[in-house]
Structure 1
Amino acid sequence: MSFFFRAASRPRSSQQDLVRSIKDSLLALDTKTGAKALEDVEKNIFTLRQTLSGDGEVEPNQDHVLQIALEICKEGVLSLFVQNLPSLGWEGRKDLAHCWCILLRQKVDESHCCVQYIENHVDLLDFLVVCYKNLEVALNCGNMLRECIKYPSLANVSFSLPSKCMYEQLALFCSFRYILESNSFELFFQYVELPNFDIASDALNTFKDLLTRHEDAVSEFLISHYEQFFELYKRLLTSDNYVTRRQSVKFLSEFLLEAPNAQIMKRYILEVRYLIIMMGLLKDGGTSMRNEKHCFCITGWPATMIFKVLATTGPELNAVLFVTMTHGIIIYSLADRKVFVANPNKPRDIIQVLVDNHKELLKLLHALPASKGEDEQLDEERDLIIKEIEKLVRLSL
């Protein structure tokens, strides 16, 4: 981190003066002159925003931007930004979040200096997550968190470390991985159900980024935290809130159909407890849950998502999907890319659940309206599922 002090012997620049002014005004917020300090803070942050992104007429000087990023890390201003975010007014918070995103992108000697600073001060990430509870700053914090989640590369070594107390490894954790591993991550299962729609939607966007942006790391996390994660996710799938259920179903199909998550998907579809949840969702009173793009096959996978994956990916992913589904109900034919409900290796407990519930399942499947447009293949798939269930019932007699 010696680059933080590279310019120490030079005369102070206007960039250094700006950072010092920001720091001094932030520190003064808790003093008797707090009102005046708040005015100074917001003026300084507005100046910082113009310096980092230009004023619409003059483009920013990249050398000045880099110098500011280094000074902000050297002076610990990133910590002050986060700690004092709730004290700022609406414009000040918006300007600060904008500056935060620009600062994190700055590279010096191939290193993101501000990202490194955050990785050494991971309590800032916990603070940002907790701030979702604050109605006034939640959206700003969500924007800042999603910027942090973009940077996993600086701490890949942490993935191969032996199991130790998490806090012994904090300096090595990337911000993305740290959020997944921290207790704060569980809060997102609460935030996506907050009564404020805008905040709940923003929290869901952050939650999605955490589980999709870095596929290999997410796969490792889900494998090692399978029971804990899906027990929490089950609450979303069975939520009293219809919007939460629908969004959770849609997102589950998206991130489990990612190629690195093939092992997790295989395990998930073999569990009766999750089959029962999906059967319950098939009965959901919401029309969209039953006959739009989230209409479920008996395994619980949205049929249109299956067709989209097979239509837009290469043979490698198709093969992965074929292998992972051979113990479920649906098998993919790579030759003609149709979905067949004819797997001879269905687990006995899965078969029993289908047979025991065949009357209601068949009633629901027959009641689904005809598909339109790009989803016409759903009709064929539904008919195949119906025939397979009827076959299972005959064989059980």
Structure 2
Amino acid sequence: MSFSFFKPSRPKTPQEVAKAIKDSLSALDPKIIAEVKAREKALEDVEKNVMAMRVMLSGDGEAEPNPDQVLQLASEICNEDILSLFIHKLPILGWEARKNLVHCWCVLLKHQVNSISCCVQYIENHLELLDFLVVCYDNKEIALHCGSMLRECIKIPSLAKYILESPSFELFYKFIELPNFDVSSDAFSTFKDLLTKHETIVSEFLTAHYNEFFEPYEKLLTSPNYVTRRQSLKLLGEFLLEPQNSHIMKQYIVEVGHLKVMMTLLKDSSKNIQISAFHIFKVFVANPNKPREIKVILAKNHEKLLELLHNLSAGKGDEDDQFEEEKELIIKEIERLSRIPILEP
């Protein structure tokens, strides 16, 4: 008696896995799968093939992935334009397939041979894919998946630079303010990565696009949404205080409009926002080269500012001691300005 029909099927090669993924994703054409049953079958095929790709790239929990197979699969995925299909078919897929596809995307971008990732090179040659991922924040069904894919891309300097300089970057100001909390928070996480992952690139970007960046950013700082105000203010402090952005900071702290925003935030109902605003406000006051306009505003508003500062405390511990020392120096400087005739022309 023969039991040959119980033999396990031969494992697929990387080329076969890549072809199966491409064929099943390509079959997800709305015109072809208009019927419900055909659509369900097509989605099942994609889910099965994406899972096979995930196992080949990451192992199955028992066996580790074969490095040669991973390399072959990555090459096939690039050569056959499958990365592009990943993105464009994402809105049609089910949740499980999306999750596994995002996992594979992240693995593929990390996989390098001789310090070069063929998948990164592919994206560098198809930069419009990054714009598509940014725009997908407008689709709450896939926004979080696309956000994960974008943040993986942002780890690559050349890809982060493209997004910063692309017109699609401006969309983040809109997405951060979306009413869906999960989507707006994810968009802010991506926005933050863009401004903090690569100091030199960010410094060059802010230098070249100073006004285009800070004008809409000011709207985030004055947003009626508490979370937006707090996150954007904290982020502003992070990248302005980077040593490589010292020239940006010097430009920022001589502008009256920016000072007025910080003075408004010092009055915010949230103590956390007041503290964060203080750490930027203090740089305006401590600047030894304050323009006359800055001195005039500080002197004119000294009574209200001193009242706010006297009532401001950071909490307990060593940080509080440092905060109190800094606050005392700022108070003394404002008092000094209030006593000198700087209002005269």
Does the TM-score normalized on the shorter chain lie above 0.5? yes
1:119 aligns with 2:101: no
1:358 aligns with 2:342: no
Q: What is aligned with 1:8? A: none
TM-score, normalization: structure 2?
0.90
Q: What is aligned with 2:79? A: 74
- Runs of 4+ with >3 A deviation: none
Q: What is aligned with 2:291? A: 347
Q: What is aligned with 1:17? A: 16
Change (3 A) 1:370 1:286: closer
**C-alpha distance after superposition, 1:15-56 (max 9, x if no partner):** 101100100001111123333111100110011111100111
Structure 1 residue 206 displacement after superposition: 0.7
1:203 aligns with 2:202: no
Q: What is aligned with 1:168? A: none
Q: What is aligned with 1:300? A: 281
Structure 1 residue 208 displacement after superposition: 0.9
Q: What is aligned with 1:394? A: 339
Once structures 1 and 2 are overlaid, which stretch shifts more, 209-218 or 364-373? 364-373
Q: Of 272, 283, 286, which aligns to 1:330?
A: 286
Instruction: Give the Cα–Cα distance (whole angstroms) in 2 for the partners of residues 121 and 295 of structure 1.
Output: 41
Q: Of 43, 64, 67, which aligns to 1:62?
A: 67
Instruction: Give the Cα–Cα distance (whole angstroms) in 2 for the partners of residues 109 and 290 of structure 1.
Output: 49
Structure 1 residue 109 displacement after superposition: 4.2
What amino acid does structure 2 have at the position aligned with 1:375? Answer: D
Q: What is aligned with 2:240? A: 256
Q: Of 359, 381, 386, which aligns to 2:326?
A: 381
Q: What is aligned with 2:204? A: 220
- Please say if residues 74 and 108 of structure 2, whose CA atoms lie closer than 8 Å, have aligned partners that are also in contact: yes
Instruction: Give the Cα–Cα distance (whole angstroms) in 2 for the partners of residues 177 and 21 of structure 1.
Output: 34
Q: What is aligned with 1:134? A: 139
Aligned pairs for 1:166-315 (under 5 A) are 174-291=158-275, 294-297=276-279, 300=281
Structure 1: any 5+ residue segments left out of the alignment? 1-12, 153-173, 302-324, 332-342
Instruction: Give the Cα–Cα distance (whole angstroms) in 1 for the partners of residues 292 and 156 of structure 2.
Output: 44
CA RMSD of aligned residues (A): 1.6
What amino acid does structure 2 have at the position aligned with 1:354? Answer: L
Instruction: Give the Cα–Cα distance (whole angstroms) in 1 for the partners of residues 95 and 39 of structure 2.
Output: 17
Structure 1 residue 375 displacement after superposition: 2.0
Instruction: Give the Cα–Cα distance (whole angstroms) in 2 for the partners of residues 386 and 379 of structure 1.
Output: 10
Change (3 A) 1:76 1:349: same
Instruction: Give the Cα–Cα distance (whole angstroms) in 2 for the partners of residues 142 and 36 of structure 1.
Output: 28
Instruction: Give the Cα–Cα distance (whole angstroms) in 2 for the partners of residues 146 and 81 of structure 1.
Output: 16
- Please say if residues 153 and 159 of structure 2, whose CA atoms lie closer than 8 Å, have aligned partners that are also in contact: yes
Instruction: Give the Cα–Cα distance (whole angstroms) in 2 for the partners of residues 391 and 372 of structure 1.
Output: 29
Instruction: Give the Cα–Cα distance (whole angstroms) in 1 for the partners of residues 251 and 71 of structure 2.
Output: 47
SS in 2 for 1:329: helix
Q: What is aligned with 2:25? A: 26
SS in 1 for 2:47: helix
- Please say if residues 43 and 93 of structure 2, whose CA atoms lie closer than 8 Å, have aligned partners that are also in contact: yes
**C-alpha distance after superposition, 1:213-256 (max 9, x if no partner):** 11101111100000000001101011111111111111100011
Instruction: Give the Cα–Cα distance (whole angstroms) in 2 for the partners of residues 145 and 20 of structure 1.
Output: 25
Structure 1 residue 107 displacement after superposition: 2.0
SS in 2 for 1:29: coil
- Please say if residues 85 and 137 of structure 1, whose CA atoms lie closer than 8 Å, have aligned partners that are also in contact: yes
Instruction: Give the Cα–Cα distance (whole angstroms) in 2 for the partners of residues 370 and 149 of structure 1.
Output: 34
Structure 1 residue 370 displacement after superposition: 6.4
SS in 1 for 2:140: coil
